[in-house]
Homo-oligomer: A and B are copies of this chain.
Protein backbone atom coordinates (compact mmCIF):
# COMPACT_ATOMS: atom_id res chain seq x y z
CA UNK A 1 0.00 0.00 0.00
CA UNK A 2 3.04 2.29 0.19
CA UNK A 3 2.32 3.68 -3.24
CA UNK A 4 -0.97 5.20 -2.06
CA UNK A 5 -1.63 8.70 -0.79
CA UNK A 6 -4.42 10.49 1.03
CA UNK A 7 -5.06 13.11 -1.62
CA UNK A 8 -8.11 14.78 -0.08
CA UNK A 9 -10.08 14.79 3.15
CA UNK A 10 -13.45 16.12 4.24
CA UNK A 11 -15.89 15.70 7.06
CA UNK A 12 -19.12 17.08 8.40
CA UNK A 13 -19.43 18.15 12.02
CA UNK A 14 -20.51 15.19 14.17
CA UNK A 15 -23.72 15.66 16.15
CA UNK A 16 -27.40 14.89 16.39
CA UNK A 17 -29.18 15.29 13.06
CA UNK A 18 -32.61 13.72 13.35
CA UNK A 19 -33.81 15.36 10.13
CA UNK A 20 -30.96 14.17 7.91
CA UNK A 21 -30.69 10.79 6.22
CA UNK A 22 -27.51 8.87 5.55
CA UNK A 23 -27.09 10.34 2.08
CA UNK A 24 -27.66 13.90 3.35
CA UNK A 25 -24.97 13.32 5.96
CA UNK A 26 -22.46 11.76 3.61
CA UNK A 27 -22.70 13.98 0.57
CA UNK A 28 -21.04 17.15 1.95
CA UNK A 29 -18.12 15.10 3.31
CA UNK A 30 -17.61 13.41 -0.07
CA UNK A 31 -17.73 16.65 -2.02
CA UNK A 32 -15.36 18.31 0.46
CA UNK A 33 -12.81 15.49 0.13
CA UNK A 34 -12.98 15.55 -3.67
CA UNK A 35 -12.56 19.33 -3.73
CA UNK A 36 -9.71 19.10 -1.21
CA UNK A 37 -7.98 16.67 -3.59
CA UNK A 38 -8.32 19.21 -6.40
CA UNK A 39 -10.51 16.82 -8.39
CA UNK A 40 -13.92 16.79 -10.02
CA UNK A 41 -16.46 14.17 -8.86
CA UNK A 42 -16.41 12.63 -12.34
CA UNK A 43 -12.76 11.61 -11.81
CA UNK A 44 -13.68 9.15 -9.04
CA UNK A 45 -13.19 5.61 -10.35
CA UNK A 46 -14.56 3.55 -7.48
CA UNK A 47 -15.93 4.03 -3.98
CA UNK A 48 -15.77 2.20 -0.66
CA UNK A 49 -18.22 2.97 2.13
CA UNK A 50 -17.88 2.07 5.82
CA UNK A 51 -21.17 1.86 7.67
CA UNK A 52 -22.80 -0.37 10.30
CA UNK A 53 -26.47 0.42 10.87
CA UNK A 54 -27.63 2.26 7.73
CA UNK A 55 -29.19 -0.68 5.91
CA UNK A 56 -28.25 -1.99 2.47
CA UNK A 57 -26.09 -0.22 -0.12
CA UNK A 58 -25.38 3.15 1.57
CA UNK A 59 -22.39 3.70 -0.72
CA UNK A 60 -24.42 3.19 -3.88
CA UNK A 61 -27.04 5.67 -2.64
CA UNK A 62 -24.31 8.27 -2.12
CA UNK A 63 -22.66 7.59 -5.45
CA UNK A 64 -26.02 7.83 -7.25
CA UNK A 65 -26.69 11.13 -5.45
CA UNK A 66 -23.37 12.45 -6.75
CA UNK A 67 -24.28 11.42 -10.30
CA UNK A 68 -21.46 8.86 -10.37
CA UNK A 69 -23.63 5.78 -10.98
CA UNK A 70 -21.89 3.00 -12.86
CA UNK A 71 -18.64 2.92 -10.89
CA UNK A 72 -17.78 0.00 -8.60
CA UNK A 73 -18.99 0.55 -5.03
CA UNK A 74 -18.27 -1.73 -2.08
CA UNK A 75 -19.83 -1.36 1.37
CA UNK A 76 -17.68 -2.53 4.24
CA UNK A 77 -18.73 -3.39 7.77
CA UNK A 78 -16.40 -4.17 10.65
CA UNK A 79 -18.33 -2.62 13.53
CA UNK A 80 -16.40 0.38 14.94
CA UNK A 81 -13.57 -0.36 12.47
CA UNK A 82 -15.87 -0.13 9.44
CA UNK A 83 -14.53 3.14 8.06
CA UNK A 84 -10.91 2.18 8.52
CA UNK A 85 -11.51 -1.24 6.95
CA UNK A 86 -13.11 0.49 3.95
CA UNK A 87 -9.92 2.56 3.73
CA UNK A 88 -7.86 -0.65 3.85
CA UNK A 89 -9.79 -2.19 0.95
CA UNK A 90 -9.49 1.01 -1.08
CA UNK A 91 -5.75 1.09 -0.44
CA UNK A 92 -5.42 -2.55 -1.53
CA UNK A 93 -7.36 -1.79 -4.73
CA UNK A 94 -5.20 1.25 -5.51
CA UNK A 95 -2.02 -0.59 -4.53
CA UNK A 96 -2.96 -3.42 -6.90
CA UNK A 97 -3.16 -0.99 -9.82
CA UNK A 98 -6.87 -1.63 -10.39
CA UNK A 99 -7.85 1.99 -9.73
CA UNK A 100 -5.89 5.15 -9.11
CA UNK A 101 -8.55 7.52 -7.72
CA UNK A 102 -10.87 6.03 -5.10
CA UNK A 103 -13.33 7.72 -2.75
CA UNK A 104 -13.68 6.28 0.75
CA UNK A 105 -16.68 7.29 2.80
CA UNK A 106 -17.45 6.63 6.45
CA UNK A 107 -20.99 7.47 7.48
CA UNK A 108 -23.34 6.63 10.33
CA UNK A 109 -26.64 7.76 11.74
CA UNK A 110 -27.16 6.54 15.30
CA UNK A 111 -29.70 9.01 16.67
CA UNK A 112 -33.16 7.72 15.86
CA UNK A 113 -31.80 4.23 15.12
CA UNK A 114 -30.27 3.18 18.42
CA UNK A 115 -31.82 4.64 21.54
CA UNK A 116 -29.67 5.01 24.63
CA UNK A 117 -26.60 3.28 23.33
CA UNK A 118 -25.63 0.18 21.40
CA UNK A 119 -27.46 -2.91 22.58
CA UNK A 120 -25.87 -6.38 22.41
CA UNK A 121 -26.56 -8.41 19.24
CA UNK A 122 -28.70 -11.56 19.30
CA UNK A 123 -25.69 -13.87 19.24
CA UNK A 124 -23.60 -11.78 21.65
CA UNK A 125 -22.87 -14.13 24.54
CA UNK A 126 -21.04 -11.44 26.50
CA UNK A 127 -23.97 -9.05 26.27
CA UNK A 128 -26.42 -11.79 27.22
CA UNK A 129 -24.32 -12.42 30.35
CA UNK A 130 -24.62 -8.77 31.34
CA UNK A 131 -21.11 -7.92 30.19
CA UNK A 132 -22.14 -4.89 28.19
CA UNK A 133 -19.35 -2.60 27.04
CA UNK A 134 -19.36 -0.22 30.00
CA UNK A 135 -19.26 -3.16 32.43
CA UNK A 136 -16.30 -4.67 30.65
CA UNK A 137 -14.35 -1.43 30.79
CA UNK A 138 -15.12 -1.08 34.50
CA UNK A 139 -13.70 -4.58 35.04
CA UNK A 140 -10.67 -3.75 32.96
CA UNK A 141 -10.08 -0.56 34.95
CA UNK A 142 -10.33 -2.51 38.18
CA UNK A 143 -7.75 -5.06 37.02
CA UNK A 144 -5.45 -2.35 35.62
CA UNK A 145 -5.64 -0.44 38.90
CA UNK A 146 -4.80 -3.59 40.82
CA UNK A 147 -1.88 -4.58 38.61
CA UNK A 148 -0.35 -1.21 37.74
CA UNK A 149 -1.78 1.25 40.23
CA UNK A 150 -3.64 3.24 37.56
CA UNK A 151 -5.87 5.65 39.46
CA UNK A 152 -9.42 6.85 38.91
CA UNK A 153 -7.98 10.35 38.55
CA UNK A 154 -5.58 9.30 35.80
CA UNK A 155 -8.44 7.63 33.92
CA UNK A 156 -10.62 10.74 34.26
CA UNK A 157 -7.73 12.84 32.91
CA UNK A 158 -8.18 11.08 29.55
CA UNK A 159 -11.65 12.59 29.29
CA UNK A 160 -10.44 15.98 30.50
CA UNK A 161 -7.65 16.01 27.89
CA UNK A 162 -9.84 14.92 24.97
CA UNK A 163 -12.62 17.37 25.80
CA UNK A 164 -10.04 20.14 26.09
CA UNK A 165 -8.59 19.27 22.65
CA UNK A 166 -12.04 19.24 21.05
CA UNK A 167 -12.66 22.86 21.92
CA UNK A 168 -10.39 23.67 18.96
CA UNK A 169 -12.14 21.27 16.56
CA UNK A 170 -15.04 22.79 14.59
CA UNK A 171 -16.19 19.28 13.61
CA UNK A 172 -16.48 18.03 17.18
CA UNK A 173 -19.86 16.94 18.59
CA UNK A 174 -18.97 18.53 21.97
CA UNK A 175 -16.71 21.56 22.39
CA UNK A 176 -16.72 22.08 26.12
CA UNK A 177 -14.01 21.68 28.74
CA UNK A 178 -14.64 19.66 31.87
CA UNK A 179 -12.63 19.63 35.08
CA UNK A 180 -11.39 16.45 36.72
CA UNK A 181 -14.06 16.86 39.38
CA UNK A 182 -16.77 17.24 36.75
CA UNK A 183 -15.70 14.01 34.99
CA UNK A 184 -15.45 12.06 38.25
CA UNK A 185 -18.66 13.59 39.51
CA UNK A 186 -20.67 12.83 36.39
CA UNK A 187 -23.43 10.22 36.55
CA UNK A 188 -22.09 6.71 37.35
CA UNK A 189 -22.71 4.18 34.57
CA UNK A 190 -20.83 1.14 35.91
CA UNK A 191 -18.65 1.19 38.99
CA UNK A 192 -15.79 1.30 39.49
CA UNK A 193 -14.92 4.33 37.51
CA UNK A 194 -17.01 4.36 34.35
CA UNK A 195 -19.11 7.53 34.62
CA UNK A 196 -21.03 9.40 31.92
CA UNK A 197 -18.05 11.51 30.84
CA UNK A 198 -15.87 8.39 30.61
CA UNK A 199 -18.10 7.14 27.75
CA UNK A 200 -18.18 8.22 24.10
CA UNK A 201 -21.59 9.55 23.07
CA UNK A 202 -23.65 8.18 20.20
CA UNK A 203 -23.69 10.50 17.19
CA UNK A 204 -24.41 11.08 13.52
CA UNK A 205 -21.80 12.10 11.00
CA UNK A 206 -19.69 11.44 7.96
CA UNK A 207 -16.10 11.70 6.81
CA UNK A 208 -14.45 10.99 3.48
CA UNK A 209 -11.01 10.70 1.96
CA UNK A 210 -9.73 10.38 -1.58
CA UNK A 211 -7.07 7.69 -1.95
CA UNK A 212 -4.86 7.93 -5.00
CA UNK A 213 -1.83 6.18 -6.38
CA UNK A 214 1.21 8.30 -5.64
CA UNK A 215 2.06 8.49 -9.32
CA UNK A 216 -1.40 9.74 -10.34
CA UNK A 217 -1.45 12.24 -7.49
CA UNK A 218 1.93 13.55 -8.61
CA UNK A 219 0.66 13.98 -12.18
CA UNK A 220 -2.54 15.70 -11.05
CA UNK A 221 -0.55 18.09 -8.86
CA UNK A 222 1.81 18.87 -11.75
CA UNK A 223 -1.13 19.52 -14.08
CA UNK A 224 -2.54 21.99 -11.53
CA UNK A 225 0.88 23.54 -10.98
CA UNK A 226 0.71 22.76 -7.25
CA UNK A 227 3.51 21.58 -5.04
CA UNK A 228 3.45 17.82 -4.40
CA UNK A 229 3.69 17.16 -0.68
CA UNK A 230 1.64 14.05 -0.29
CA UNK A 231 0.41 12.40 2.86
CA UNK A 232 1.37 8.78 2.23
CA UNK A 233 -0.88 5.99 3.47
CA UNK A 234 1.75 3.49 4.56
CA UNK A 235 -0.64 0.76 5.66
CA UNK A 236 -3.98 -0.07 7.19
CA UNK A 237 -3.39 -3.28 9.14
CA UNK A 238 -6.40 -5.37 10.16
CA UNK A 239 -6.73 -8.01 12.85
CA UNK A 240 -9.58 -9.99 14.36
CA UNK A 241 -10.31 -11.22 17.88
CA UNK A 242 -8.64 -14.23 19.45
CA UNK A 243 -10.62 -15.24 22.47
CA UNK A 244 -8.29 -17.12 24.77
CA UNK A 245 -5.42 -14.68 24.68
CA UNK A 246 -7.59 -11.75 25.60
CA UNK A 247 -9.38 -13.72 28.27
CA UNK A 248 -6.00 -14.49 29.75
CA UNK A 249 -5.20 -10.84 30.43
CA UNK A 250 -7.86 -8.15 30.31
CA UNK A 251 -5.29 -5.45 31.08
CA UNK A 252 -3.56 -5.97 27.73
CA UNK A 253 -5.51 -5.73 24.48
CA UNK A 254 -4.12 -8.46 22.22
CA UNK A 255 -6.20 -7.57 19.17
CA UNK A 256 -4.76 -4.05 19.26
CA UNK A 257 -1.24 -5.33 19.81
CA UNK A 258 -1.71 -7.69 16.81
CA UNK A 259 -2.88 -4.91 14.50
CA UNK A 260 -0.14 -2.59 15.75
CA UNK A 261 2.59 -5.16 15.17
CA UNK A 262 1.29 -5.83 11.64
CA UNK A 263 1.15 -2.09 10.91
CA UNK A 264 4.69 -1.47 12.14
CA UNK A 265 6.01 -4.42 10.12
CA UNK A 266 4.10 -3.50 6.96
CA UNK A 267 5.03 0.18 7.06
CA UNK A 268 8.54 0.13 8.43
CA UNK A 269 7.41 2.85 10.84
CA UNK A 270 7.83 1.88 14.47
CA UNK A 271 6.05 3.04 17.61
CA UNK A 272 9.00 5.32 18.41
CA UNK A 273 8.51 7.15 15.10
CA UNK A 274 4.90 8.16 15.77
CA UNK A 275 4.40 11.92 16.34
CA UNK A 276 0.62 12.01 16.74
CA UNK A 277 -2.03 9.35 17.29
CA UNK A 278 -5.80 9.08 17.07
CA UNK A 279 -6.76 6.13 19.27
CA UNK A 280 -10.17 4.51 19.74
CA UNK A 281 -11.23 6.02 23.09
CA UNK A 282 -14.80 4.71 23.23
CA UNK A 283 -14.24 4.86 27.01
CA UNK A 284 -11.55 6.73 28.91
CA UNK A 285 -10.14 3.35 29.98
CA UNK A 286 -9.99 2.29 26.32
CA UNK A 287 -7.40 4.95 25.48
CA UNK A 288 -5.15 3.73 28.29
CA UNK A 289 -5.37 0.08 27.19
CA UNK A 290 -4.81 0.88 23.54
CA UNK A 291 -1.93 3.31 23.84
CA UNK A 292 -0.18 0.67 25.93
CA UNK A 293 -1.03 -2.23 23.57
CA UNK A 294 0.24 -0.19 20.62
CA UNK A 295 3.61 0.05 22.33
CA UNK A 296 3.43 3.85 22.57
CA UNK A 297 4.40 3.33 26.21
CA UNK A 298 4.94 0.26 28.39
CA UNK A 299 1.97 -1.43 30.07
CA UNK A 300 1.14 0.53 33.22
CA UNK A 301 2.95 3.69 32.12
CA UNK A 302 0.03 5.56 30.54
CA UNK A 303 -1.32 6.78 33.89
CA UNK A 304 1.85 8.36 35.28
CA UNK A 305 2.60 9.87 31.84
CA UNK A 306 -0.76 11.61 31.53
CA UNK A 307 -0.03 13.37 34.83
CA UNK A 308 3.07 14.85 33.17
CA UNK A 309 1.18 16.04 30.09
CA UNK A 310 2.91 13.46 27.87
CA UNK A 311 -0.24 12.83 25.75
CA UNK A 312 -1.30 16.49 25.47
CA UNK A 313 -1.22 18.46 22.21
CA UNK A 314 1.93 20.15 23.49
CA UNK A 315 3.31 16.93 24.98
CA UNK A 316 5.77 14.29 23.84
CA UNK A 317 3.20 12.21 21.92
CA UNK A 318 -0.19 13.88 21.48
CA UNK A 319 -3.07 11.39 21.53
CA UNK A 320 -6.49 12.33 20.18
CA UNK A 321 -5.84 15.99 19.37
CA UNK A 322 -9.20 15.93 17.53
CA UNK A 323 -11.01 15.32 20.81
CA UNK A 324 -11.30 11.61 20.17
CA UNK A 325 -14.45 9.58 20.37
CA UNK A 326 -15.09 10.91 23.88
CA UNK A 327 -15.69 14.47 22.70
CA UNK A 328 -15.56 14.66 18.90
CA UNK A 329 -18.13 11.87 18.84
CA UNK A 330 -18.43 8.34 17.50
CA UNK A 331 -20.72 7.74 14.49
CA UNK A 332 -19.33 4.23 14.08
CA UNK A 333 -18.75 3.98 10.33
CA UNK A 334 -17.37 7.53 10.16
CA UNK A 335 -14.90 7.24 13.04
CA UNK A 336 -11.96 5.59 11.26
CA UNK A 337 -12.15 7.98 8.34
CA UNK A 338 -12.46 11.02 10.60
CA UNK A 339 -9.29 9.90 12.39
CA UNK A 340 -7.41 9.87 9.09
CA UNK A 341 -8.83 13.30 8.21
CA UNK A 342 -7.41 14.57 11.51
CA UNK A 343 -3.99 13.00 10.90
CA UNK A 344 -3.92 14.49 7.41
CA UNK A 345 -4.73 17.95 8.71
CA UNK A 346 -2.08 17.51 11.41
CA UNK A 347 0.58 16.33 8.92
CA UNK A 348 -0.25 19.24 6.60
CA UNK A 349 -0.15 21.75 9.46
CA UNK A 350 -3.82 22.66 8.98
CA UNK A 351 -5.14 21.70 12.43
CA UNK A 352 -5.56 25.23 13.77
CA UNK A 353 -5.71 25.58 17.55
CA UNK A 354 -5.13 21.86 18.04
CA UNK A 355 -2.04 21.68 15.80
CA UNK A 356 0.71 19.35 16.97
CA UNK A 357 4.27 20.63 16.40
CA UNK A 358 5.50 19.47 12.93
CA UNK A 359 4.42 15.83 12.96
CA UNK A 360 5.97 13.54 10.32
CA UNK A 361 4.18 10.27 11.16
CA UNK A 362 0.67 9.63 12.45
CA UNK A 363 -1.13 6.53 13.65
CA UNK A 364 -4.86 5.88 13.89
CA UNK A 365 -6.46 2.96 15.68
CA UNK A 366 -9.99 1.56 15.62
CA UNK A 367 -11.40 -1.36 17.54
CA UNK A 368 -14.86 -2.85 17.07
CA UNK A 369 -16.90 -5.67 18.51
CA UNK A 370 -16.94 -7.48 21.80
CA UNK A 371 -14.12 -7.35 24.32
CA UNK A 372 -13.48 -11.07 24.68
CA UNK A 373 -13.82 -11.55 20.94
CA UNK A 374 -16.04 -14.60 21.36
CA UNK A 375 -18.72 -12.81 19.39
CA UNK A 376 -16.53 -11.15 16.84
CA UNK A 377 -14.03 -8.34 17.11
CA UNK A 378 -12.09 -6.27 14.62
CA UNK A 379 -9.16 -3.87 14.88
CA UNK A 380 -7.29 -1.63 12.46
CA UNK A 381 -4.12 0.43 12.70
CA UNK A 382 -3.38 2.90 9.92
CA UNK A 383 -0.07 4.73 9.53
CA UNK A 384 0.39 7.89 7.49
CA UNK A 385 3.60 9.82 6.91
CA UNK A 386 4.68 13.04 5.33
Contact = CB atoms under 8 A, between A and B. Distances in A.
A100 interface: no
A161 interface: no
B240 A64 contact: yes
A319 interface: no
Nearest to A236: B72
Contacts of A85: 74
B89 A74 contact: yes
A241 B60 CA distance: 7
B123 A21 contact: yes
A375 interface: yes
Contacts of A52: 56
A284 to B, nearest CB: 23
Nearest to A259: B72
A246 to B, nearest CB: 9
A368 interface: yes
A76 B76 contact: yes
Contacts of A71: 239-240
B123 A60 contact: no
Interface in A235-257: 237-243, 255
Interface string A51-80: 010011111110110001111111111110
Interface stretch (A90-98, A193-201, A270-278): A90-98
A376 B54 CA distance: 12
Contact of A57 (B56, B58, B60, B78): B78
Nearest to A47: B240
A242 B378 contact: no
Contact of A73 (B60, B61, B78, B96): B78
Given A55-B121, A73-B78, A238-B74, A60 B92 contact: no
Interface residues of A, number: 54
A238 B23 contact: no
A151 interface: no
A41 to B, nearest CB: 14
A88 interface: yes
Residue among A70, A75, A240 with max Cβ neighbours from chain B (10 Å)? A240
A374 interface: yes
A373 B69 contact: yes
A279 interface: no
Interface in A287-301: none
A321 interface: no
A72 B261 CA distance: 13
Given A57-B78, A95-B96, A73 B242 contact: no
Contacts of A61: 123, 375-376
A106 interface: no
Nearest to A374: B64
A330 to B, nearest CB: 14
Nearest to A55: B121
A70 B369 contact: no
8 contacts: A55-B123, A56-B78, A56-B79, A64-B240, A64-B375, A72-B88, A74-B88, A92-B98
| 3 interchain residue pairs of minimum CB distance | A69-B242, A57-B376, A96-B96
Given A56-B376, A71-B239, A95-B96, 12 more contacts: A22-B123, A56-B78, A56-B368, A57-B369, A57-B378, A59-B240, A60-B376, A64-B242, A64-B373, A70-B255, A71-B240, A72-B238
